[in-house]
Chains A and B, each alone.
Chain A
Amino acid sequence: LAKTTQPISMDSYEGQEVNITCSHNNIATNDYITWYQQFPSQGPRFIIQGYKTKVTNEVASLFIPADRKSSTLSLPRVSLSDTAVYYCLVGDALSNTGKLIFGQGTTLQVKP
């Protein structure tokens, strides 16, 4: 299972763009990169998933370079409600036998 490394914490201000980078040097060919958001005392919530290049949805963008050894979650114009822990997970998302192991996550604090 590919191990991920993220910054422990980040601070930002409302209205700014936030980029959280995740390193996964041992990513395997079949591994996808998935980001989850977790608020205190709640289950994690799916944000975005990608395999290569760039993926964008209504809440975030995910940038993956050609070597796939890292990825960057981009949150445009954050608000106070984006204060949460963000987890980057890497795993075989095509197999029905894979499992996802959570790393430490990045605690994002958005300030007014």
Chain B
Amino acid sequence: GAVVSQHPSRVICKSGTSVKIECRSLDFQATTMFWYRQFPKQSLMLMATSNEGSKATYEQGVEKDKFLINHASLTLSTLTVTSAHPEDSSFYICSGRHRDRVSGANVLTFGAGSRLTVL
């Protein structure tokens, strides 16, 4: 089945530094990838929609200059948290959209997530 590889799984950084998270679709081409963040005991919050070869679309309240998204190929999207601060500490999850073989409709396959801790 479809697999999305997300790295790193855990990262600890100092306040003010930048962190890059990679999301790769291993056996399908993801024209569209979505980035979510999740705080403890809360649901996933959509941050942005990443389309291959074009600028990402950010959800309201998400700073595009702080959360840089690049989707340069059909199998790779990256999220860079710039000048990270402790309040950016969260669980970041990417997902790739593809067609389900049974229903023929789009489904999302998620990466394992990246736990970011900013000291």
Contacts and interface: CB of A to CB of B under 8 A. Distances in A.
B112 interface: yes
Interface string B80-119: 0000000000010101010010110111111111010000
A76 interface: no
Interface centre among B97, B100, B107 (most CB of A within 10 A): B107
Interface of B is mostly: strand
Contact of B107 (A49, A99, A103, A104): A49
B25 to A, nearest CB: 13
B117 to A, nearest CB: 13
A85 to B, nearest CB: 8
Ranked nearest first, the 5 interchain pairs of A and B with the lowest CB-CB distance are A43-B110, A93-B105, A102-B44, A93-B106, A102-B43
22 contacts: A42-B112, A43-B4, A43-B93, A44-B44, A45-B110, A46-B109, A49-B105, A50-B103, A55-B103, A57-B102, A87-B43, A87-B44, A93-B105, A94-B105, A94-B106, A96-B31, A96-B106, A100-B46, A102-B36, A102-B43, A102-B44, A103-B43
